[in-house]
Amino acid sequence: MFQVSAGVVAEDALVQASHALKCAYETAYELTDNGEARTGLVWTVLELLSSARALVDAVAEGMNAQGR
């Protein structure tokens, strides 16, 4: 399972989230452009989106805890 560790710099987490979202976008584009049913790639997109969401949520929670 993906987990965001305490003490990770917010900027680093957001950069990682950005990379995950870019990969998810490109994979989804390939899936729709190709027309083939490839469930492994669908799961890849879901995992990348889940990881990116966890990173963004962790940054937001950290900012809220610091009163930003």
Summarize pLDDT for 3-60 with one digit per residue, the tens: 778 888 888 888 888 898 988 888 888 777 666 667 788 888 888 898 998 899 888 8
State the total domains in the chain. 1
Structural domain contains residue 2: no
pTM listed for this prediction: 0.69
pLDDT at position 46 is 86
Residue 8: closest CA among 68, 61, 67: 61
pLDDT at position 30 is 79
Structural domain contains residue 5: no
Instruction: Judge whether residue 64 has pLDDT over 70.
Output: yes
Structural domain contains residue 67: no
pLDDT at position 37 is 66
Structural domain contains residue 20: yes
Q: Any long-range contacts for 36-42 (C-beta under 8 Å, 24+ apart)?
A: none
In Å, how far are 5, 14, 34, 37 from 51, measured between CA atoms?
13, 11, 25, 23
Structural domain contains residue 1: no
Structural domain contains residue 68: no
**Domain of 43?**
10-62
Q: How far apart are CA 27 and CA 39, in angstroms?
A: 12
